[in-house]
Structure 1
Amino acid sequence: MKITFLLTWADAVGGTERMILRQASWLAQRHDVEVVSVFKTRSAPAFEVDDRVRMTYLVDATTQIQRAIHNDALDEQTCRALAESPSTLVDPGWEGAFNALADLELERVLPASDTDVIVSSTPALLAVAATLAPQAALVHQEHRVTELRGPSGGPFRIFTPRADAVVLLSQPTRDWFANLLQDAAPRLEIIANTLEPGYRPLSSRATDTILWAGRLTAEKQPLHAVRAFAAIAAEHPGWVLRFYGDGPEADRIRREAAAHRLGSRVQVAGNSPVLDQEWAKASIALLTSRTECFPLVIMEAMAAAVPVVAYDCPNGPRELIRDGETGFLVAPDDTDQLAATLSKVMGDAELRHRMGEAALEHTARFEIDPIMRRWEELYTDLVAERAQPGWRDRRLRRMAAFRAQRAAAGARDTAPVAGSQSADVETWAATVQESVPGLVWSNAQLTRVEDDLSAADVAARNLAFAADALEAADVDFWLVPKPWATHTVGVAATDRDAAMDALTRYGTDRPAYGEFLDQRGRGLGVKPVIELPGLVAADRSRAVRVFEPVVTSGRTLRFGSVYGCVVEFWDESEDGTRLRAVRRTPVGYSVPKAATTRASAHVQDRRYPTLEPFTRTMVNDVDFPIDVVYTWVDGNDPAWRAKRSDRLGTAGASTDGTSDAAEGSARYRARDELRYSLRSLDLFAPWVRNIWLVTDDQRPAWLDLDHPRVKVVDHREIFTDPAALPTFNSHAIESQLHHIPGLAEHFLYLNDDFFIGRTVRPDTFFTPGGLPKFFTSPTLVDPTPISDDDEFNITAAKNNRDLLNDRFGKTLTQGLLHAPYALRRGTLTAIEQEFAEPFQRTMHSRVRAASDISLVSSFAHYYGLITGRAVTSGDLKVGFVNVGLREHHARLDRMLLARGHDVFCLNDFHNADVPDDEQSQLIDAFLQAYFPVASQFELGSPRNRRCTA
């Protein structure tokens, strides 16, 4: 039997690569095995491979220019051009590493292969194999938590029916595939990962060492480990926390350890080629990931007789750890509980020994031979099936079934699939449609159509739904504060049946839906509220989320379950003195019954009962006013254009060293972005106080100038030297923003092409103590001096760099992401005083010049960082699209479908390859779809009439 494994990087240091190569080595003892790696990134694989395994690399990525390894017909110039061109086999949202060169090599190798079985190891490679190797039996091995993959899992919704088998590591992931594909599902198997064969040293568990192993990435959350260790380090003075692995978080670990004065007690040891020996030196294994499918580090630690403390994240830790027996599972992201659990194990040697021995015994089921025989049997079965008549027909039937499912899903905007609901639900749906006019079917749910609601409005309405239901049934409840825009209410567990009955009865004549939540807060499936009491989860779930879905008339914006109100069922502690919450509240996981004095809290225009401790302002609350400032110009305004021509000449030519890019029409082009940026604020940032629009004697015709939260400010009101006007330089205008009369001390500065993509909180941009956060870009400010070839944004960044280096001896190397800039007036005032000469020079530049500083889009943030007035942050999902480049346009579709960015920017550089009119049409269509709800700031809009009445 010939078996071909596909890897993106066979030489990478990762769990997927380790398991594939281990499997290939075992099978190569009696089969013809090849590993095809799309890219070669180092001289040799990171893991040992049997000599009988043929390793085939297609593209050499070890040099600056990628080269085809086995295709001498491609010269360097051709390889460069292909490597710089996007892949047509793999969407960049699935995997960004692929390119046209990789496509060419895969198309050369796979269709000509005579392999019996081809095994893909990522969703992108599943797409490749299904497209290029239909002649082989296709098996996909999934090594991650598929249901949480996001865009990278896109191929599963297209190509999985073309596979003959999909092999998973956990039951929840298998259930996800079965639910997604139904009759179109191929063979779905669960086969565990294996331990490395051979001798493994065992730990004595007496070394006072906590070991954390894995890639040092944000997904693995190593900083949580440092913070938890810091909280208990003083109680356990002999213990150390040691990290094995490499990655971008290494320096942050060191800085975090230094901030807690932990010194050498936190050690970043890099990669180890003998990690099994390192486990033997550890007493506790620690895992802090956001998600883990089947973490090898847990299995290897347990095989060394080391107990494990891990976040109970989806899905792997629970598959491996028997909580309280072989280790402990901790609520995800709860560093306090993590610290307490670690302290318990560190302080109890007998517990460590008992758990370590149990862990070792538990790993016997992961020995290599039995598990590899299951793989061999699967491949043998599939090859036998492939030889039988009708093999291709069975694939085609799966594909046809899947397409039929997708077509049915698309039809659900008019009606649900016939027979897909019980008779009771169909009767309920018919009754609700008769009693509530204007409902439509959207996402297989009866849905209200409304075009004047923000995210906060929908969340408040769902809170009101739950409150009305509970009040009508005299069920006591209290509002529980949440660090987001949605709402939660608590109900005593003893009133659970009454509460569920109340929600069910209240939803009988409304388009009301709900879903039970598991202990991690994940939904267990949306159903009409009337069905909830009959579900199995009703007996074990401690929380249910209820909501009425809303969609806009154009169907491009939908508010579904994520904006629902969560009803939690709180029980009492064993001693009866405390009420225990389901999830952590601002005052902890429980509230003393003595502190449950009732109070009230406002949500929009309604008061709700709550507990007195929840009415207090917490030290980590951001409760100061935050304004938003825009600078805006209508470059299509004839009067403004005439003013600019009079001042700068008909061609707008500059004589002060300004680059051509600074004078391009793109600098001043108006495409109504401001309207949609304001819509984004109104939809997703209701906490903003006032909005200040800084203009040159211009007013958007659609803007309600009498709105109490909108303030239009002319340049003449803020420039300290009138001689600097008129100006056409955004750097100059930005240097005067802190002179706006009445502007809050804390504000966000937005270009009009910045948009809020989903609900964000004030603490996204400011710390509770009022420090602005800023978000660095991977784009580097190169260390060279300013040259004539630099564009205006580069020269400003270099000026910022040089000024700060001259003053403080510190050099900045990164620009900032295209995202809202958090600022303080006091910091800008200090800069104006301390850097008077470059400040004045920038103010007096009428167009962007090589001598400018970019005050509010870099300088203030790095000055603030150096002087203790600002902090860096990585907690923002930022999207960027250059609409002038055609290759960026596919990003717009993905952004609209996923709505997964906190903020995004639609920019148009001067070097566009898309005509202006096409850009305008594209932007207009996208923004109308993303932000269909006219804001309260637009004259005559429904929200304007309602919010200003």
Structure 2
Amino acid sequence: MVRVGFLVFNLAGPGGTSRSAITQANALAARGHDVQMVSVTRSADRPTYDIDPRVRTEFLVDVRDGHRTDPELHRRPSLLVPPRWDPQFSAVCDVALEERLPRLAPDVLVTVTPSLLAAAEQLVDDRVVLVHQEHRSSSDRVAGLEPLLTYGARADVVALLTESAAAWLAEQLGDAAPRLVVLPNPLPQGYVPRSRLDDPVIVTAGRLVGEKQFGHLVRAFARIAPLVPDWRLRIFGDGPQRGQLQALTRKAGLFDRVELPGTTHDLAGEWAKASVAALCSRAEGYPLVLQEAMAAGVPAVSYDCPSGPREIIDHEVNGLLVVPGSEEHLAATLLRVATDDDLRRRLGEGAVATAASWEADGLAQQWEQVFAEAVAARPKGAGRLAARVSAGSTTQGARPDVGGTDGPGDWGHATPAQARRQVLALATSVADDVTDEWFVVPGVAGAAPVVVVPLAARAAYLRALATAAPPAYLGLRDPGDHGWPERRGPVAELAQALLRAMTPRIVLEPWPTSGGSASLLGQGCAVEVQFWAEGLGGDLVAPEPNAYVTRAARGSATAKRRVEGLDLPSLPLMTLPTLAETSVEVDVVYTWVDGGDPSWAERQQQRLADWAGQSGAAASRASSGRARFESRDELRYSLRSLHLFAPWVRRVHIVTDRQVPPWLDAEHPQIHVVDHSEILPADALSTFNSHSIETALHRIPGLAEHFVYFNDDMLLGRPLGPERFFDAAGRFAVFTAQHLVGLGEPGGQPAYITAALRNRWLLQEAFGIAVTRHLVHAPYPQRVSVLAEVAERFADDVEATARAPFRSETDVSMVSSLAPFYGLMTGAAYEAALESTFIDLATTNVGLVLEQALQRRQDAVCIGDHHDYAMEMAKVDRLVADFFERYLPIAGPWER
């Protein structure tokens, strides 16, 4: 025999938690245990639910009308349980609990809400074994979360209703988690009448509040009402949304077919009159409404909401799960059950078989074992904290979430483009194996492509996916829609786990990290699979918006769409580009120099000697210092970033002065090496001024109208589409920065500010508009025609800049400032954003900044060199070389 105490808040109330506790207490008392129930408050003369006479009951605070004592204490907030945890507690509860709980002496005390757990942990004798029963879908509810996470680790055992709730709590508490067990609520004891399933009534029950979403059920019933004229909908319960539901019923013209009879004390009898049980909550724990309906042999139709329905309903065996939140799928499912007598009977038989596992005496036996093991696990005389610390984490019974975020260390050295193709090929080949009605929704503007599969083939798809042979780098993600926590796992394992669910989306994607580091494939390589439910008219209904349609007729004529190099079935509309896409050809232009080349250095020194008399500033470090021309093979890695993250680039033009990197295959068809002499006038050569070179880039032979200008120290950080740089009309993006140009006249400022001030003055004179900000130092989209127009309109300043061999006070920065702002003012460009990280190699924390950049949270990275360093240059060189190889490990096809 075990002495068991139950601590509840209101034993006399009608709540499901109190009812479950009473049922457990009655069953344990019937098995010979000493059972005591302590209720913090008493709101009625007698409990709503019958309590076995062998169970001792005690009420601490009387809140009945006419019996309330010490009203002042009732008005004061509780210090034991703060109002944000549970507003039902007051100071009078504190006083009563502080007086009574230290004197309770059961072997095991069971708490049934997180707030009661907090109170018990603070006041009950340490020698009492504390078992907490969590009755809610904890991961989806805010109220009560704090006390559970604060005090849950101090309990001896925490019991949860579902495996998903146990996995969530295990993840939240980590190594501090106590023993976690999963046990459902018992069914009330006594005779349960069984439905004959011949009365055309759909029944549901619960408090009429927003979380129950009874409006969904009314609207779904309204859709099918004309098709099943004999059927009625009956909603038991009361609450603040009663008036809203009545108005909704009247609006639908169903005042004689949707019933709101209020609460009932004989719900078991009402289930015997029902033929379908419906549940459309936003979230549940382990809904007693489904348990009681199944005990009466009534098949259940329920949203797959967190967290109980999928653990209770075995789809097509004892009920039917519905895509959460989908009123159309709910309507179609209700219609199916209402019009198929054989289906109702088959599901009803399955429901009765399932309900046998909730029999109170059988569950009481399992509780006996839990209590006995908890008592035995507590060292004699040890308090709760000492016992927990010495025991460590013992989360037996809880299944951790499937997988994690880290994949295998070897990702096969696939490029993102290769991975996208492989993943899409896998997703579509599985679809092809299970149905002939699948099609692809192309990804638009960087969105993942979507493989659409009818919901009816969902289980077959998941089973086939579980037996497929995916690449080692690939994982599966459940995106966590409708309140479910997101989770990620190995493809086979998570696909198998999702068979009991009815969530409409899964995502096949590479693991975001590999071997503990951010994966090269961790972004931009996903393929989503959506399971579209069949609506009432037979159409397939999208579970969420996409760029094209919300529904599609089954058997619609398909067309072929090329996606990631694969010709795949799609809808004709989806073969056309949208306004979110760009179809222009795009080139890339680099300006590059190797300052370590002796011939180049000799030309620079000669030019500097010739020019020094005309501009003393030419000899300054800002104009001709070594840092401006230092080469750490940045170009090699910047080109690798194009290969990996922008494979759509047509051609790469490298503008240089009689130099070709030794590692570069200049004959590669995508590479065009352009000498300064091909684009600059003879009297501008030789030049060592990037501003000068920028004035002539639009003259590159064969250059596409649309191009992106890169400095050689700029790297892409993750996959980007051409839409990030140009819109459907061909306008180019301008990435403005928060850094202000400021006040002042050209002269006596850093070269880039001097040029920005001159640019501003020219544009102000031309348009009467002030430029106030710099641009992000990142790749610059451009158009040849706009540069030509700028060169013509501001010819004197552009020509002067072209003929300045070193940075000077008369320069304009044509490509990196003047033309972009000109484009904004003339309508040829639009303002946009790009996540870019500037890494200053001169700082003391450059190693840390480089490590942070390896997390790949940015679209672009710029490696900014300097004239002075905070550490030895050799160390900076090693850090940068290591970063480049880790960040961009795959060689481009143009590397020798």
Instruction: Give the TM-score range, shorter chain.
Output: 0.5 to 0.7
Shift of 1:521: 11
Flag the 1:830–1:478 CA change in 2: closer, same or farther, 3 A. Answer: same
Aligned to 2:851: 893
Q: Provide the C-alpha distance between the structure 1 equivalents of 2:178 and 2:867, rounded to a whole number of angstroms.
A: 49
Question: Would you say 1:835 and 2:776 are equivalent positions?
Answer: no
Flag the 1:724–1:818 CA change in 2: closer, same or farther, 3 A. Answer: same
Choose the corresponding residue for 1:626, options 586, 600, 606: 586
Choose the corresponding residue for 1:932, options 884, 889, 896: 889
Bigger shift: residues 548-557 or 488-497: 548-557
Amino acid at match of 1:794: I
Identity %: 33
Question: Would you say 1:756 and 2:716 are equivalent positions?
Answer: yes
Flag the 1:461–1:654 CA change in 2: closer, same or farther, 3 A. Answer: farther
Give the 5 Å matches for 1:265-664.
445=407, 448-451=410-413, 453-473=414-434, 475-483=436-444, 484=446, 486-507=448-469, 513-519=475-481, 524-532=486-494, 534-535=496-497, 538-547=500-509, 557-559=519-521, 563-576=525-538, 578-592=539-553, 596-649=556-609, 655-658=615-618, 659-664=620-625
Flag the 1:586–1:444 CA change in 2: closer, same or farther, 3 A. Answer: closer
Q: Is the 8 A contact 2:837 2:860 kept in 1?
A: yes
TM-score, length basis structure 2: 0.55
- CA offsets, 1:334-369, max 9 Å, x none? xxxxxxxxxxxxxxxxxxxxxxxxxxxxxxxxxxxx
Choose the corresponding residue for 2:782, options 823, 836, 840: 823
Amino acid at match of 1:644: Q
Amino acid at match of 2:795: A
Q: Is the 8 A contact 2:416 2:520 kept in 1?
A: no
Over the aligned positions, Cα root-mean-square deviation in angstroms equals 4.3
Shift of 1:817: 0.9
Q: Provide the C-alpha distance between the structure 2 equivalents of 1:526 and 1:877, rounded to a whole number of angstroms.
A: 26
- CA offsets, 1:359-399, max 9 Å, x none? xxxxxxxxxxxxxxxxxxxxxxxxxxxxx99999899889x
Q: Provide the C-alpha distance between the structure 1 equivalents of 2:76 and 2:663, rounded to a whole number of angstroms.
A: 69
Q: Is the 8 A contact 1:554 1:929 kept in 2?
A: no
TM-score, length basis structure 1: 0.52
Q: Is the 8 A contact 1:459 1:486 kept in 2?
A: no
Choose the corresponding residue for 1:871, options 795, 815, 830: 830
SS at match of 1:582: coil
Shift of 1:458: 0.6
Aligned to 1:718: 679
Q: Provide the C-alpha distance between the structure 2 equivalents of 1:708 and 1:853, rounded to a whole number of angstroms.
A: 33
Shift of 1:184: 3.1
Shift of 1:692: 0.9
Flag the 1:717–1:616 CA change in 2: closer, same or farther, 3 A. Answer: same
Q: Provide the C-alpha distance between the structure 1 equivalents of 2:769 and 2:837, rounded to a whole number of angstroms.
A: 29
Flag the 1:713–1:444 CA change in 2: closer, same or farther, 3 A. Answer: closer
Name stretches of at least 5 consecutive residues in structure 2 with no aligned partner.
1-74, 83-138, 141-148, 156-161, 181-280, 285-380
- CA offsets, 1:42-67, max 9 Å, x none? xxxxxxxxxxxxxxxxxxxxxxxxxx
Flag the 1:395–1:776 CA change in 2: closer, same or farther, 3 A. Answer: farther
SS at match of 1:661: helix
Q: Provide the C-alpha distance between the structure 2 equivalents of 1:610 and 1:822, rounded to a whole number of angstroms.
A: 32
Q: Is the 8 A contact 2:741 2:756 kept in 1?
A: yes
Say how many residue pairs are matched: 551
Question: Would you say 1:881 and 2:839 are equivalent positions?
Answer: yes
Flag the 1:491–1:474 CA change in 2: closer, same or farther, 3 A. Answer: closer
Give the 5 Å matches for 1:108-119.
none
Q: Provide the C-alpha distance between the structure 2 equivalents of 1:791 and 1:164, rounded to a whole number of angstroms.
A: 61
Aligned to 2:368: none
Shift of 1:540: 1.7
Bigger shift: residues 864-873 or 665-674: 864-873
Shift of 1:765: 1.5
Aligned to 1:745: 705
Amino acid at match of 1:506: A
Q: Is the 8 A contact 1:455 1:683 kept in 2?
A: yes
Flag the 1:319–1:482 CA change in 2: closer, same or farther, 3 A. Answer: same
Shift of 1:545: 2.3
Shift of 1:889: 3.7
Flag the 1:553–1:646 CA change in 2: closer, same or farther, 3 A. Answer: farther
Shift of 1:892: 1.9
Q: Is the 8 A contact 1:460 1:486 kept in 2?
A: no
- CA offsets, 1:513-567, max 9 Å, x none? 4233343799732233333454257422112223566988997635359734322
Q: Is the 8 A contact 1:765 1:773 kept in 2?
A: yes
Question: Would you say 1:184 and 2:176 are equivalent positions?
Answer: yes
Amino acid at match of 2:871: V
Aligned to 1:770: 730
Q: Provide the C-alpha distance between the structure 2 equivalents of 1:599 and 1:318, rounded to a whole number of angstroms.
A: 38
Amino acid at match of 1:516: D
Aligned to 1:913: 870
Bigger shift: residues 860-869 or 520-529: 520-529
Amino acid at match of 1:882: D
Shift of 1:841: 0.3
Q: Provide the C-alpha distance between the structure 2 equivalents of 1:784 and 1:501, rounded to a whole number of angstroms.
A: 69
Q: Is the 8 A contact 1:728 1:846 kept in 2?
A: yes
Flag the 1:508–1:643 CA change in 2: closer, same or farther, 3 A. Answer: closer
Aligned to 1:804: 763
Larger Rg over CA atoms: 2
SS at match of 2:487: coil
Q: Provide the C-alpha distance between the structure 2 equivalents of 1:838 and 1:509, rounded to a whole number of angstroms.
A: 56
- CA offsets, 1:603-638, max 9 Å, x none? 344322222211112233211111111100011111
Amino acid at match of 2:176: A
Flag the 1:554–1:930 CA change in 2: closer, same or farther, 3 A. Answer: farther
- CA offsets, 1:103-136, max 9 Å, x none? xxxxxxxxxxxxxxxxxxxxxxxxxxxxxxxxxx
Q: Provide the C-alpha distance between the structure 2 equivalents of 1:779 and 1:619, rounded to a whole number of angstroms.
A: 31
Q: Is the 8 A contact 2:466 2:496 kept in 1?
A: no
Question: Would you say 1:689 and 2:650 are equivalent positions?
Answer: yes
- CA offsets, 1:894-928, max 9 Å, x none? 221x3111112111233432332222111111111
Q: Provide the C-alpha distance between the structure 2 equivalents of 1:401 and 1:476, rounded to a whole number of angstroms.
A: 49
Question: Would you say 1:923 and 2:880 are equivalent positions?
Answer: yes
Aligned to 1:677: 638
Choose the corresponding residue for 2:804, options 829, 841, 845: 845
Q: Is the 8 A contact 2:462 2:499 kept in 1?
A: no
Q: Is the 8 A contact 1:691 1:711 kept in 2?
A: yes
Flag the 1:27–1:621 CA change in 2: closer, same or farther, 3 A. Answer: farther
- CA offsets, 1:629-666, max 9 Å, x none? 11000111111111111221399898353443122111
Amino acid at match of 1:572: E
Q: Is the 8 A contact 1:160 1:186 kept in 2?
A: no
Shift of 1:839: 0.3
Amino acid at match of 1:818: H
